[in-house]
Amino acid sequence: MQKKGNKYGTHRVIEPKGVLPQPANKLDNNMDEIYDNEILIDVHTLNIDSASFTQIEEQAGGDKAKIAEIMLDIVEKQGKHRNPVTGSGGMLLGTVEKIGDVLKGKTDLKTGDKIATLVSLSLTPLRIDRIKEIRSDVDQVDIDGKAILFESGIYAKIPDDMPEKLALSALDVAGAPAQTAKLVKPGDTVLIIGAGGKSGMLCCYEAKKRAGVTGKVIGLCHSQKSTERLQKLNFCDHVFSADATQPVPVLEEIERITGGQLCDITINNVNINDTEMTSILCTKDTGLVYFFSMATSFTKAALGAEGVGSDVTMIVGNGYTKGHAEITLQELRESEALRKVFTELYA
């Protein structure tokens, strides 16, 4: 008889008691027995959140053995992979190994199904037995290990029409393009900061689709390489490279491009600190800033907007919105150019 579990996974919280798994300091990651409402996953790959992986890589000085050591230490101490500096996790790819008795018949999953979890590693009980390969260029780590998906946890089955690593790379950031689809209206001027990255390219495609011929999509990239890549994709009306931590030069360029009108919507996808003011200043008073970046500081954004007298609406990036997995995978099916770039870079 399996033990009864809580829908949100509080039965796995060791300390402090009474909190949900995400803010908990330590989770029970014993996988020998599962609770009646859990799914046990045989984990193949961890897709570490970009802000988190960047921080770990910097801490390790780029040394892969040191990266592995830091990751193992995080999981050893917490029973999950929540970066203590950024607070973020990532997601995983694996195979369903066992389904709790209560969930049998309630889920469309069966043993052997390949899935990507769409909930953060920062709340997922995880055990790493061995780190097999670290792919720093795509923030992915292949492991032998196990993980638990709670009853409330969301997931996507890996589709048959694309390689699993390709699907995983897109699903990792599925919230951003899906939220873009929800927010952007025909005729909007949209600025995407970090436009040349993984979530950025998907957002550019979706923004162009939604803003239409009367709208305008502007892509801000960090490097010349990502700028050229985005220009070739032809999703944006304007693409330029700049340092997003320098608000005034970026604002001057946006004023030039928009004839002083600024942007209706700004979507921030970067994985570095101090880009809040660039996002705010480039957006109209009546506009909206969507902070998908896990490097965003609520304090800097709130006080910064107040300090410059901006009445902009700010949304905290939620990695989940209804239909986000379907919307994101559909983008790779619709755009051959996007799929080709994602295959080259991430798969």
- Are 57 and 193 in the same domain? no
Predicted confidence at residue 40, as pLDDT, reads 98
Series of mean pLDDT values for 10-residue runs along the chain (347 residues): 94 96 98 96 95 95 97 98 95 96 92 95 98 94 98 94 89 92 97 96 97 98 95 97 98 98 97 94 97 90 96 91 93 96 89
- Are 140 and 187 in the same domain? no
Predicted confidence at residue 81, as pLDDT, reads 98
Predicted confidence at residue 347, as pLDDT, reads 76
Residue 168 lies in a domain: no
The reply to whether the predicted model has a pTM over 0.75 is yes
Point out the domain boundary residue: 100, 130, 158: 158
CA distance 185 to 207: 9
Residue 203 lies in a domain: yes
Point out the domain boundary residue: 108, 129, 158: 158
Q: Is the dihedral of CA 194, 168, 233, 236 positive or negative?
A: negative
Which range marks the domain in which residue 275 is found?
175-346
Predicted confidence at residue 110, as pLDDT, reads 94
Q: Residue type at 251?
A: L
113-116 long-range contacts, Cβ below 8 Å, gap at least 24?
113/157, 114/157, 114/158, 114/164, 115/41, 115/155, 115/156, 115/157, 115/158, 116/47, 116/91, 116/92, 116/155, 116/156, 116/158, 116/167, 116/168, 116/171, 116/172
3 DSSP assignment: P
Predicted confidence at residue 63, as pLDDT, reads 96
Residue 75 lies in a domain: yes
**Closest residue by Cα to residue 205 from 328, 293, 344, 294:** 328
- Are 152 and 185 in the same domain? no
CATH number at residue 227: 3.40.50.720
